[in-house]
Amino acid sequence: MNKLKRTLVIIVLFAAAMASEVSGTWSGTFKVRGGDHSTPQIIILKQDGKKLTGSAGPELGEQYPVENGQIDGDRVRFEVTSGEWRFSYDLKRLGPDEMKGNLELKSVDDKRTAVVSLSRTK
Amino acid sequence: MSVPHERKMGLRLRYDSHMHRLILSVHLSVALLGGVFILLLGLTGSVLVFEPELDRLFHPHLSYVKPRGNVLTLAEIGEGVSKQFSGEPIVAYLPSETADLSSQVILPRGIVCVNQYTGEILGMRTRGQSIFGWARDFHVRLASGDVGRIVMRWSGVAMLVSLASGLYLWWPGRRLGIGGGWRSVRFWFDVHNSVGILSLAPLLILAVTGTVIGFEDQASSFLGKLTGAGEASARQSVARRQTVPAAPATTSELISPQVITPDRAVAIARAQMPGAIPYRVQMPRYGGAYRVNLDLPGDRVAGGRNLIAIDQSSGTVIFSTRSSDLSSSERILATNEAIHTGEVFGMASRILAWLTCVIVPVQMMSGLVLWLRRKRHARS
């Protein structure tokens, strides 16, 4: 019985974590596959139902608008254009304060993929 | 490999010493194991050296314009693009640096090419991989991520070993010149030796600079230590923050004082760096401020590493990074890159870099022919 209760508590907590908003400030890095260093990321997200807005960039002083942001269960997807490169994030929530996933970077003559790791700071 | 066969061919080389045999084994092993990757480096490198020119060759209708009359302002160009693309926000402008090349406007979905004299939209380049992207991806990371990057950076080392061992093997005979018919071993041996020794210096330069780029993190840390602790403060000064009052605003800005035009931002940036040519203007919606990149025409090594960020309301310079602020180690790495790409002395060094890249397949082929002939002879 105790085992059942514990499992239920874990499920409820996990569901609550997944249901919690992604709104907030997230920081972390992305590393291009085949690249030699990690790039810092600060992402400020605002959730409105299944829609996501906000900004993202390498630092707080250099932020780019979040476009086409959407949340579907534990999947968080959005795009950012920093100029020549368009960043398409496809993240999975691993907990209330952690997201990991893939990033596709596209310019007019190049395409790269990267792995992203973010944790909530606020 | 058969020593008597070489003697019979009249090549009279001294393969007798253990050292010679060892070095020859190293030379052959490196070529057999790393040859394909070295070949890829040469082939893709030959494409990348002239990437801008080839790109324009493939997209002439998007690239070239006929110079006539006055050039439209960035705001006028942007207005036309916004109309055409249903108000899609402008991320940045790439003003034309020469009179006969089109200007470009970056939108989230792609880059629009515009005739800066007439405002005509020449077309849009959508985002995605092109042949040049593939070439770069193969050149740097074998188009296969982290593993590919490791393979390619060590291929540079393999090339260095191959060149050094080749020089050692060439030295005793010091053959220069080509003899025999093209089907003879002698012909291919002479081609391999003569082309190899004549192209040794540029090949060595490409291999060394390429290896440094491949191991840039380690090279950067090594150079940082070598150039001393004072470099740290120099690096910090790269992004020095300063407040510079802007020149008086124009009438149009007085009507709408909240946001200065991109043309005004360019004027402010140019005043900060007289003689520099702006090649990129990023809009404040993207990045929080106008970011104007400028190219110093006389500085081929780091001339494009100038950035001036301008507040969109007040027109004040909120920060600037200048190529002159680069630390010694950053400048060494920038020079290394300029040598590798051939940019360092302009067109002459780019042509030399291209020729050197093209020589790689010649050396690989002559080496392979030699190896196959010797293998066949050894079997018989």
**What is the full DSSP assignment across B99-166?**
TTB-EEEEETTEEEEE-TTT--EEEEEESS--HHHHHHHHHHHTTSHHHHHHHHHHHHHHHHHHHHHH
The verdict on A100 touching B (C-beta cutoff 8 Å) is no
| Token pair listed for A81 | 């254009």
Nearest residue of B to residue A80, measured between CA atoms: B108
Within this chain, do residues B8 and B140 fall inside the same structural domain, yes or no?
yes
Find chain A residues with C-beta within 8 A of B219's C-beta.
Answer: none
Q: Indicate yes or no: CB of B216 within 8 angstroms of CB of A36.
A: yes
Report the domain count for chain B: 2
Predicted pLDDT at A13: 55
Q: Indicate yes or no: CB of B287 within 8 angstroms of CB of A63.
A: yes
Whole-complex ipTM = 0.78
Decide if B75 is inside a domain.
no
Write the residue in B92, B132, B216 that is nearest to A109 by C-beta. Answer: B132
Within this chain, do residues B224 and B311 fall inside the same structural domain, yes or no?
no
Predicted pLDDT at B92: 96
Within this chain, do residues B207 and B152 fall inside the same structural domain, yes or no?
yes
Within this chain, do residues B38 and B165 fall inside the same structural domain, yes or no?
yes
Label residue A33 exposed, middle or buried (CB < 10 Å: 0-12, 13-18, 19+).
middle
Nearest residue of A to residue B124, measured between CA atoms: A108
Decide if B181 is inside a domain.
yes
pLDDT in tens, A14-31: 555 555 689 999 999 999
pLDDT in tens, A39-62: 999 999 999 999 999 999 999 988
pTM value is 0.82
Predicted pLDDT at B276: 93
Decide if B348 is inside a domain.
yes
Within this chain, do residues B301 and B371 fall inside the same structural domain, yes or no?
no
Predicted pLDDT at A20: 63
Q: Indicate yes or no: CB of A67 within 8 angstroms of CB of B108.
A: yes
Within this chain, do residues B136 and B158 fall inside the same structural domain, yes or no?
yes
Residues facing B140 on adjacent strands? none
The correct CATH number of A2-120 out of 3.30.70.1520, 3.30.1330.60, 2.40.128.120, 3.50.50.60 is: 2.40.128.120
Q: Indicate yes or no: CB of B132 within 8 angstroms of CB of A111.
A: no
Q: Indicate yes or no: CB of A33 within 8 angstroms of CB of B282.
A: no
pLDDT beneath 50, residues of chain B = 1-10, 12, 229-257
Q: Indicate yes or no: CB of A63 within 8 angstroms of CB of B144.
A: no
Q: Indicate yes or no: CB of A36 within 8 angstroms of CB of B217.
A: yes
The verdict on B216 touching A (C-beta cutoff 8 Å) is yes
Within this chain, do residues B289 and B375 fall inside the same structural domain, yes or no?
no
Within this chain, do residues B138 and B217 fall inside the same structural domain, yes or no?
yes
Residues 62-81 of A with CB under 8 A from B: 62-65, 67, 79, 81
Q: In Å, how far is B219's CA from the nearest CA of chain A?
A: 12
Task: Quote the domain boundaries for residue B294.
Answer: 236-326
pLDDT in tens, A65-114: 999 999 999 999 999 998 889 999 999 999 999 999 999 999 988 999 99
Decide if B371 is inside a domain.
yes
Predicted pLDDT at A44: 96
Decide if B154 is inside a domain.
yes
Within this chain, do residues B174 and B260 fall inside the same structural domain, yes or no?
no
**Cα B169–chain centre separation:** 32
The verdict on A33 touching B (C-beta cutoff 8 Å) is yes
Cα–Cα dist B125/B133, whole Å:
14
Q: Please, which residues have CB within 8 angstroms of residue B362's CB and are 6 or more apart in sequence? A: B191, B195
- Residue contacts between A and B (CB atoms, under 8 Å): 74
